[in-house]
Structure formats: structure tokens, C-alpha cells
A and B are shown apart, each in its own frame.
Chain A
Amino acid sequence: GAVVSQHPSRVICKSGTSVKIECRSLDFQATTMFWYRQFPKKSLMLMATSNEGSKATYEQGVEKDKFLINHASLTLSTLTVTSAHPEDSSFYICSAPRRGNTEAFFGQGTRLTVV
């Protein structure tokens, strides 16, 4: 079946550094990928829609300069958390819909801890 792979699954970084999270669709091409963030005991919040070959679309309240998204190929989207701060600590999840399939496939998620 279709698989979306997200890497790394867990990362601890120092405040002020940048962290890159990768999301790959393994057996299908994804022109669109979605990045979500989950706060403790809260729902998945859509951060941005990543579009292959064009700029990402950010949800209201999400800082585009802080959360850089690059969708350079049909199978890879990256989310870079720049100048990370402790309040950026969260669980980040990507998902990718396969063309013609309503179901969205999710990555395994990345637990980011900024110390």
C-alpha cells in the first residue's frame, strides 16, 4: 500500500538552531503534501499546504519565515523550523493524498524538543 515516510522521528535541538524534517511519499507521487502540528491533548492543526514546484500555502497565524517548506520534487517535502525556540517543541506530522484517492496517508510524525 501507499506509504509516507517522515524523518527523523525524534529530534532534540538547542534553542536558536534550525531543524529540517523530511516527508517522502514512497510509492506514489504527491503534488501536494500537508504539514500538521499537534499540541499536547489537542487536535492536529494544519500548518501549511506544500505544493510541488510552487510556494507553500500557510494557514493563518503560521509564520512562513519560521516554518520554511520546500516541495522540490513529487516525492519529497521538507519542513525547516528555523531559529527554534522551546515553544516550537511539538509533534509535527506530514500527510500526502494520492491522486484519485480521498484518503490521506500520514507520516510517522516527528517529535521536536527544543532545549
Chain B
Amino acid sequence: DQQVKQNSPSLSVQEGRISILNCDYTNSMFDYFLWYKKYPAEGPTFLISISSIKDKNEDGRFTVFLNKSAKHLSLHIVPSQPGDSAVYFCAAHGNAGNMLTFGGGTRLMVKP
């Protein structure tokens, strides 16, 4: 049973436009959500996070929105840049032991 889902395996966006990556979860006990960015052959790097008590967190070009009633979060990147091309994972925290539950990832391609 996949508790965190990213239903779009890939997304292609033109440079300068907005990229919106979506993530859905089923476990209402999750209390913290994170987005990670991963380049090929590298470990994931932390991008931005949001607590379940908030509905929005912004950091530069990156904004994460959380809709608790819909159990949905999204990552907005604006303006998108070619260097943003990577795989983006959303992750949820709330299980015992500080373990993160990851979504399947979305490959973002930003075209110049």
C-alpha cells in the first residue's frame, strides 16, 4: 500500500514558466512533508519542507502548498530553469523512528 504517491512520472516545462509537481498521501498521521531533488548518480538533496499546521511555505523560487483536507501537496517552481531538471521526490514524516516515506518521484525536464 503506497502511502505517498506522485502520479505523474514526468513533467516537461518551458524555461521561465511555472513547474507544478504534485503529491498525494493517504496517512492522516503524517505531520511533516519534504521535497527532495535528485540528480542522476547523486543522493537526494533537501529542497523545501512544510509542517502539517501550515498550508504554504515559500523559499525563493520554490513554494510548497499543503491541502490537508485533500491530503495533497504540491511544489511550485517559478520561474523554471534548465538546472531544475532532475527527479523530485516528495516525502512524508510521521511514522515512528523518524522514517520518511517517499513518493515514486517525478522527473522534471525544463527545456531552454
Contact = CB atoms under 8 A, between A and B. Distances in A.
Tell me if chain B binds chain A.
Answer: yes
Interface of A: 6, 32, 34, 41-44, 46, 49, 91, 93, 95, 97, 102-109, 111
A49 B99 contact: yes
7 contacts: A34-B100, A43-B104, A49-B99, A91-B41, A103-B34, A108-B42, A109-B42
Interface string B70-112: 0000000000000000000101010001111011110000000
Interface string B8-48: 01000000000000000000000010101000011111100
A106 B89 contact: no
Interface residues of B, number: 22
Interface of B: 9, 32, 34, 36, 41-46, 49, 89, 91, 93, 97-100, 102-105
Given A43-B104, A102-B93, A103-B34, A6 B99 contact: no
A102 B32 contact: yes
Contacts of B42: 108-109
Contacts of B103: 43
Given A43-B89, A44-B89, A106 B45 contact: yes
Contacts of B93: 102
A108 B42 CA distance: 5
A32 B100 CA distance: 12
Contacts of B45: 106
A93 B34 contact: no
